[in-house]
Amino acid sequence: MTGEFTSAANADLADYLRIIRRHWLLIFAVTGLCVSLAAGYTKLQAKRYDSVAKVQIPEAVGQSNREQTIADLQTEVQVMKSDEVAQRATKILKDGRSVAQLLSHLKVKTPTEARVLMITYNGKSPDKARDGARAFADAYVGYKTAQANQNIAGQVNALQPAIDSLSKQLALTQAALDNERPDSVAARSLNVTIGRLTTNLAQSQAQQDTLRSQRIDGCRVLSPATLPTKTAGSGLLTNLAIGLLGGIVLGLIITFTRDRLDEQVREAADLQQVLSVPNLGSIPILPNRHRKRDTLLVTLHAPAGPHADAFRRLRSAVLLMMRANSAKIVAITSANAGEGKSTVAANLAVTLAQAGNTVCLVSADVRRPTVDQFFQVPDHTGLMDVLDGSVALDDALVQVAGLSLLTSGRPHTTPTDLLQSAAMAKTMTTLRASFDYTVVDTPPILAVADLLVMASMLDVVMFVVSASETTEADITAAEQELRNVGANITGAIMNRSVTSTNRYKSYYRQTPTTRKGARKAARRGRHAPPVIQQSVGRQNP
């Protein structure tokens, strides 16, 4: 179970890395945009100035442990930020700003366990910054002093009722003593009481005097605010870091969202997930893709180049697949037109012939016979003529480029009927017996039903998918139609693969001699007429 979980996790990670590698340019662009916006935002910010004042906090009475000290310091920070202190600051500044406006420019912090408040005020000018810091420092000192005075006044007032009571008792006792004989027992008792009351009254009055004379130690300004000489930190590095991190995150979100919504098959790994068959090869983008048809035959015109090498790699995989399935006839198809199936079929047939095999290439895409244009044999009798009985198979075959070519032949009004006829089955049987391998270029599956009607006559079917052009829905629909008629789909080919193109470019860029030869061969293939020997009629394989 643990091994399965690890494999699944590794697969998911590989998928994520593949998506990131595919869309790295998008992530880079989004990140660059966010960093640029952060830099622009920082530059457009108005200049600000910071002025700092330091205020000492007196020791709290009865405080002993570290936790209490920290709690007391945090309490004083909140006092500094309170509306009461801010209201005192507004009276000092007298500039008409509200309490909320002043507090928005204030920052207060305290060093660890140090009984000091660091008041930082941010202003648009050096004067405003200094005045703001001074105002809050003075307001805090005034608030704490008033609070201490109020506390002392409360204690003094608290003693007054006792003093008044003692004074009253003393007066009453003295009056009673005046009515007694000096040598009486009652007089002696009243004298003792008067002495006690007098002592208590004196003590209470002394406490009041001590409180009134006590020095107020609310707090004091240790370091007054000064005029700042330079602007406050613009936060450029912080904003750039935020822009960088935000850009990466946003780029990843866009990338994975786009990948989730994108139904196009872009890489071999995507194709492997859609089609339940192995990917036999990836063909790079051909340099002459939009030029004349015959220049796409790179296995003849530029055999030393990277594109021909890709088809030779494909040939090795196809041969292993054919031998594993005891197959001799392979159909090359695609979901839609324009995905390069004819190019793959023609070049694959040439490489099979170059390996010493007897090969027949059949142009069964009779409505759009592209293969005929590759070998420059248009308007030749071919498959349709053989199927309607106009010409014998031996007479329709053309020997070209080391292989036998059966062109599409003359157009027919009902080609589908001919392709599912007994004559077609007989033709396939004859080709199977006469050649080592037969490569059949068939029409797109979703366009016409031609391949579906002759699927039972073919040994295996290989699916060509054009990278970034074919959707998953089209591939799934095409595969389902082939499965419904019993077609033996044994492999897929990723055509116009960007990944494969980059790999070949990277390798051939490091081999100057090979690259020069490939360029010369490519130029010969583009500008010189292809040297393709043709002869009509089948030669003994």
Q: Mean per-residue pLDDT for 142-146?
A: 83
Strand order in the sheet with 220-223: 106-109, 116-123, 49-56, 220-223
- Of 341, 242, 230, 218, the C-alpha closest to 39 is 242
The proportion of the chain whose per-residue pLDDT surpasses 90, expressed as a percent, equals 18
User: Taking 90 as the threshold, does the pLDDT of residue 362 lie above it?
Assistant: yes
In angstroms, the CA 298 to CA 284 distance is: 12
> Do residues 62 and 137 touch, judged by C-beta distance below 8 A?
no
* Each residue's pLDDT tens digit, 212-241: 776 666 577 878 888 887 777 666 788 888
User: Taking 60 as the threshold, does the pLDDT of residue 515 lie above it?
Assistant: no
* Each residue's pLDDT tens digit, 446-461: 888 888 998 889 999 9
Most confident range (mean pLDDT) of 164-168, 262-266, 336-340, 437-441 is 437-441
Q: Which residues pair with 495 in a beta bridge?
A: 466
- Of 384, 393, 446, 394, the C-alpha closest to 421 is 384
* Each residue's pLDDT tens digit, 464-505: 888 767 777 788 888 889 889 988 988 888 887 765 555 555
In angstroms, the CA 516 to CA 372 distance is: 31
Predicted pLDDT of residue 63: 53
Q: What's the number of CA atoms in the CB half-sphere (13 Å) around residue 40? A: 6
Mean pLDDT, the chain, as a whole number? 80
> Do residues 353 and 403 touch, judged by C-beta distance below 8 A?
yes
The proportion of the chain whose per-residue pLDDT surpasses 70, expressed as a percent, equals 80
Q: Mean per-residue pLDDT for 361-373?
A: 89
User: Taking 90 as the threshold, does the pLDDT of residue 6 lie above it?
Assistant: no
Most confident range (mean pLDDT) of 97-111, 181-195, 250-264, 522-536 is 97-111
Q: Mean per-residue pLDDT for 430-437?
A: 94
% helix, strand, coil for the chain, step of 5? 55, 15, 30
Predicted pLDDT of residue 527: 41
Q: Mean per-residue pLDDT for 2-7?
A: 45
Cα–Cα separations (whole angstroms), residue 499 to 10, 46, 344, 492? 21, 48, 18, 16
Q: Mean per-residue pLDDT for 17-36?
A: 83
